[in-house]
Amino acid sequence: MSSSTTDATPSTDAIPAVGMREPCPCGSGRRYKACHGKKAHRVEQRVARPFAGLIDECDWVAMREIVPAATTEISLLGDPDRRIVLTTVLPMAWPAMVRDNGDIYLALQVTTGSGDPSRDAAAALQTALTAEPGTAIPPTGLPDAGPRLQDLVVAQPLQITVHDTFDYWMSEDAPAEGEVRDSLDRANARVMPTVRLTEVAAAYWVEMGEKYFLRWVFPHDEDSMLNALARLKVRGEVNLPDLDNRFVGSFRADGLLVPVWELAAGQSAADCEGPALAFGALLDAAMATDAPLTGAERGARAGLQTRQITLR
């Protein structure tokens, strides 16, 4: 990145890369998310499924909510030759940055208050499209009315690359040094090893300390999904077949349910491929059942809802 940017659009060479939970670089002693990364405004009106209508909606949600470090290229309607890299997070929780070569990096894991992450990302993208090379796009509060990602990007599948580190933030000809390198190293030290499964869509194996989990984003209507999970739970089929694991519940992210399984120690993403495929078939069959829930199934559904959380 160039060092010729203004105070309003800080250079990535000048400002250390920090995560949302790191100390704010202003020196306040508070975490960045509670200081300069705090939402300037908040509105109560939220879009229930902000990425609905985009191909691979589940992976858009995964990149915004559960994957630490990942990238995929997207294409712009009207300018398909402009290289745009969608990523999970950027230094200083910037919504976007423009590299010296003109490539745009657009982040999904940002603090926004409009209630519509798709509109927020589209606003950052529009700003980046007119910014000079070497410019970081800082958070700007609530965007004005305007297009959403669904209006700006080409409808195409996401070819996601999951990274072990955040080193992709820096270009090869401008490696991080000094304070930036130290901060980047801190961010890298907290990256949880993550692997995207290949046999099913939007399922991610993750190692959290000494525990292993599979987190899987599903596109189904929440009510139907809960009914299906309740049926499987009563039948003893809610765990991944032929694998030592335990279904631990689900959470809601950007309008979609994300079931979670805890895996036995040492089980790899490859170990989950076949069982995940088999579970998908069981879920599809349960989804196709339209009979009313039995009393046991209603009780199972109530238990599932009690343990459910919503990511904001």
CB 238 within 8 A of CB 260: no
Judged by average pLDDT, the poorest of 189-193, 252-256, 288-292 is: 189-193
pLDDT for res 46 = 82
CA distance 90 to 93: 5
Task: Write the CB contacts of 48 (distance below 8 Å, at least 6 apart in sequence).
Answer: 255
Local confidence band at 171 (pLDDT 50, 70, 90 cut-offs):
confident
Tell me how far apart the alpha carbons of residues 185 and 22 are, in angstroms, rounded to a whole number: 12
Look at residue 263 and tell me whether its pLDDT is greater than 80: yes
Instruction: Decide: 196 and 163 in contact? Cβ < 8 Å.
Output: no
* Cβ-contact 143, 114 below 8 angstroms: yes
Predicted confidence (pLDDT) at residue 29 exceeds the cutoff of 80:
no
Q: Which of 270, 227, 271 is nearest to 245 (CA)?
A: 271
Q: How far is CA 109 from CA 52, 228, 246, 295, in A?
A: 17, 30, 29, 40
286: tokens are 């349960």
DSSP one-letter string for 130-165: TSPTTEEE---SSPPS---HHHHB-------EE-SS
**Pair 57, 220: CB distance under 8 Å:** no
Q: What's the confidence (pLDDT) of residue 12?
A: 38
Sequence spans of domains, the chain = 36-189, 195-311
By three-state DSSP, how is residue 197 classified?
coil
Amino acid identity at 275: P
Distance, C-alpha 61 to centroid of its chain: 5
Whole-structure pTM value? 0.83
pLDDT of amino acid 267: 96
CA distances from 250 to 54, 96, 244 (A): 23, 30, 18
Other Cβ atoms within 10 Å of 53 Cβ, number: 13
Q: Is the pLDDT of residue 11 over 60?
A: no
CA geometry: angle 98, 104, 109, nearest 5 deg: 100
Query: pLDDT band for position 167 (50/70/90)?
Result: confident
> How far is Cα 279 from Cα 233, in angstroms, rounded to an integer?
12
